[in-house]
Amino acid sequence: MKLTLHTQPEVPLEVEVLNSTQLADKTVEEVAALTVFHGNREQLLGDFFTVEGKVKDNQLELEGDLSRVKLIGLGMSEGTLKITGSVGAHLGAEMTGGEIVVSGDAGDWVGREMSGGRITIKGNAGHMVGSAVRGASMGIQGGEIIIYGNAKNELGNGMRRGLIAVGGNTGDFTGVNMKAGTIIVLGQLGQRSGAGMVRGTILSTNHAQLLPTFTYNTTYKPTFLKNILFYLRKLGLPIEDAHINGDYQRWSGDSIELNKGEVLLFVDD
Amino acid sequence: MFIKSTEIIDTFAEAFGMWGTRVIITAETPKWANAAARAMTGFATSVIGCKCEAGIERELLPEETPDGRAGVSVLLFAFSAKGIEARLVERIGQCVMTCPTTACYNGLPEATETVNVGGKLRYFGDGYQASKMLGNQRLWRIPVMEGEFLIDESFGVQPAVGGGNFLVLGENLKITLDAVEEAVEVMKIPNVILPFPDGVVRSGSKVGSKYKALPASTNDAYCPSLRGCAPKTDLPENVSCVLEIVIDGLNEAAVAESMRLGIQAAAREGVVQITAGNYGGNLGQYHLQLHKIMQGAS
């Protein structure tokens, strides 16, 4: 099934119904008649999207500038959602399985509190990728988020498990309050990365200014990184051989917490 | 049936249902991957005396391993999945984790049954161990003095075949040794190992003993030095040396193919007979018929 945006919403459009699980077995007419929220007003999905075909093999395609469309793929549990264009906030929030691929950029809160599946953003992403909502302590609890471009602040806030990889730079407070899991940043980390982290790994292939509550341990070649970087390369993220085979500084922290987290910084010879 | 001048006896090798696993060991250099693999597969010739049978399947190129380093593939067999778990914990813990720069991975990721190995060895980390999820795979990082030992939490196990065999009956030691050495070289195919020293065993056994405590004892019917005093002998007059090759495999077809290649290579002038060890067909669930295996061979 393919949905193409024909009318740009004037205010954010919330489309909680837009995932392959919810649309399975529905006709074009039934899908067009589903309720969405345009701001605080109820409208029909068909008021904004042209709907074609049926959901086949759990595959769904979206097309258009969806940067004002929120909650695409909410709670998705299986299937594939392919999006040509950019998307708004809360993409793949609370997702438990399946795969979402976005050809453009994504807004804030990509994969917030997800626990399975994979989200791939070919462009940039906003703030709070893989994070917990305000007031909650647990962010992403499983699954993978791959961002080819940059991401903004508080990526992986409260992250509990899973893998977030960023091809470019991240903003401030990357991995803040992280409980566990892995964040790979192939560009530059923002300020105060790992603040309040308990366990888990933050890696950067560039130098970073860390908080004084992080302690240098050693410079070595962590074997597990090779596995993760090969895995990401297989998924299509460009990984340089030097980053797979090179040395990394290991810093442990945050000592205001359990001090069992680590920041790994690539050492460029 | 004859291959060259060697008679292939119309009999069968009696093999047993076992459980098998594959372990991938990697290291910074092939030297250390091999060192760990050799240590891990030491004292693992016979499940009766060693609790498991193990051997090196082959060396792996960097592009064949999960971390892109040189590696070695090891197969290990035991009578139960639980037995494999216990042996892996012992042998990986003592022989692989201890070896510089190594990491250890599940070589049967498609297996439906798994045993917990890294999940037990992780306690060596004394609370500093950390796990990493990669897809559905959980890896444990155990800090060691040289860096970190990385190991899969679970290892796949599957039903397997142990105890495929054949005996090479030669006119003298040199001819027989030459025959089995050349046979072993061609028998190293995927999914099989030859658990005895360089693949060859000289102390073939029969079931039972005059001593009650022993479950097995020397196969006197094939000992040339007992030709005149044992209750019976299975040796032709011109045979003065017998060597056996034992094969364990992840499936029956691989064991049979390895045997076929080995028998073909061992047959030659001076090798009088090639036969196989069995217990009358009452103990093992696999009967590997030599003639059937050799069909199609010259």
The residue among B127, B158, B189 that closes a domain is B158
The residue among B158, B188, B205 that closes a domain is B158
The residue among B116, B141, B158 that closes a domain is B158
Instruction: Going residue by residue through chain A, which has 269 residues, state the pLDDT in tens, using 9 for 90 and above.
Output: 999 999 999 999 999 988 877 888 889 999 999 999 999 999 999 999 999 988 888 899 999 999 999 999 999 999 999 999 999 999 999 999 999 999 999 999 999 999 999 999 999 999 999 999 999 989 999 999 999 999 999 999 999 999 999 999 999 999 999 999 999 999 999 999 999 999 999 999 999 999 999 999 999 999 999 999 999 999 999 999 999 999 999 999 999 999 999 999 999 87
- Report which secondary-structure segment, H or E, holds A30: helix A28-32
The whole-number pLDDT of residue A20 equals 79
Task: Write out residues 150-189 of B within 8 Å (CB-CB) of A.
Answer: 150
What sign does the CA torsion over B246, B248, B252, B254 have?
A: negative
Residues forming a β-bridge with B138: B133
User: Which residues of chain A does B141 touch, with a Cβ-Cβ cutoff of 8 Å?
Assistant: 222, 224
- CATH code at position B228: 3.30.70.520
The tens digit of pLDDT for each residue in B192-230 reads 999 999 999 999 998 889 999 998 899 999 999 999 999
Binary contact (A231, B133; C-beta < 8 A)? no
Nearest CA in chain A to B141: A224
Based on the domain organization, do B132 and B241 belong to the same domain? Answer: no
Q: How far is the C-alpha of A113 from the C-alpha of A131, rounded, in Å?
A: 6
Scanning the structure block, which residue is given the tokens 């453009």? A104
Q: Of A118, A224, A248, A262, which to mutate for an interface test with B (greatest number of B Cβ within 10 Å)?
A: A224
The whole-number pLDDT of residue B281 equals 85
Binary contact (A224, B135; C-beta < 8 A)? no
Nearest CA in chain A to B134: A228
> Cβ of A207 under 8 Å from any chain B Cβ?
no
Binary contact (A224, B128; C-beta < 8 A)? no
| B121-133 burial: b if 16+ Cβ within 10 Å, else e | bbeebeeebbbbb
First to last CA, chain B: 10
Based on the domain organization, do B95 and B142 belong to the same domain? Answer: yes
Based on the domain organization, do B109 and B23 belong to the same domain? Answer: yes
Q: What is the mean pLDDT of each run of 10 residues along chain B (298 residues)?
A: 96 96 98 98 94 97 96 98 98 98 97 98 97 93 97 98 97 98 98 97 92 92 94 95 98 97 98 93 92 76
Q: Which long-range contacts (CB under 8 A, 24 or more apart) does B79-86 make?
A: B79/B18, B79/B19, B79/B47, B80/B19, B81/B19, B81/B113, B81/B115, B81/B157, B82/B115, B83/B19, B83/B51, B83/B52, B84/B19, B84/B20, B84/B21, B84/B52, B84/B115, B84/B155, B84/B157, B85/B115, B85/B116, B85/B117, B85/B157, B86/B51
> Cβ of A222 under 8 Å from any chain B Cβ?
yes
Binary contact (B147, A220; C-beta < 8 A)? yes
Token pair belonging to B102? 């190594």
Packing angle of the helix pair B252-266, B173-187 (nearest 10 deg): 140
> Cβ of B261 under 8 Å from any chain A Cβ?
no
Q: Where are the alpha helices (DSSP H) in chain B?
A: 30-40, 47-50, 81-91, 118-121, 173-187, 252-266, 290-294
The identity of residue B281, as a single letter, is G
Q: How far is the C-alpha of A133 from the C-alpha of A154, rounded, in Å?
A: 11
Based on the domain organization, do B165 and B89 belong to the same domain? Answer: no
Which class for B195: exposed (0-12), middle (13-18), buried (19 or more C-beta within 10 A)?
buried
Based on the domain organization, do B154 and B251 belong to the same domain? Answer: no
Residue B201 belongs to what domain range? Answer: 2-15+161-294
Nearby residues of B105 by Cβ (< 8 Å), 6 or more positions away = B23, B24, B25, B26, B65, B66, B67, B151, B152
> Cβ of B133 under 8 Å from any chain A Cβ?
yes
Based on the domain organization, do B187 and B213 belong to the same domain? Answer: yes
Cβ pairs A/B, distance under 8 A: 47
Peptide bond into A254 cis (omega under 30): yes
> What phi and psi values does residue B57 have, to the nearest 5 degrees?
-80, -50
Based on the domain organization, do B145 and B170 belong to the same domain? Answer: no
Which class for A24: exposed (0-12), middle (13-18), buried (19 or more C-beta within 10 A)?
middle
Number of domains within chain B = 2
B185 secondary structure, DSSP code:
H
Which class for B287: exposed (0-12), middle (13-18), buried (19 or more C-beta within 10 A)?
middle
User: Which residues of chain A does B67 touch, with a Cβ-Cβ cutoff of 8 Å?
Assistant: 223, 226-227, 230
Cα–chain center distance at B143:
31
Whole-Å CA distances, A91 to A8, A74, B22, B250, B284: 18, 7, 41, 45, 58
The whole-number pLDDT of residue B297 equals 45
SS3 A246: coil
Token pair belonging to B236? 């032709």
Based on the domain organization, do B181 and B280 belong to the same domain? Answer: yes
Based on the domain organization, do B258 and B269 belong to the same domain? Answer: yes
Based on the domain organization, do B191 and B110 belong to the same domain? Answer: no
Based on the domain organization, do B166 and B290 belong to the same domain? Answer: yes
Based on the domain organization, do B150 and B211 belong to the same domain? Answer: no
- Between β-strands A80-84 and A59-63, what pairing exists: parallel, antiparallel or unpaired? parallel
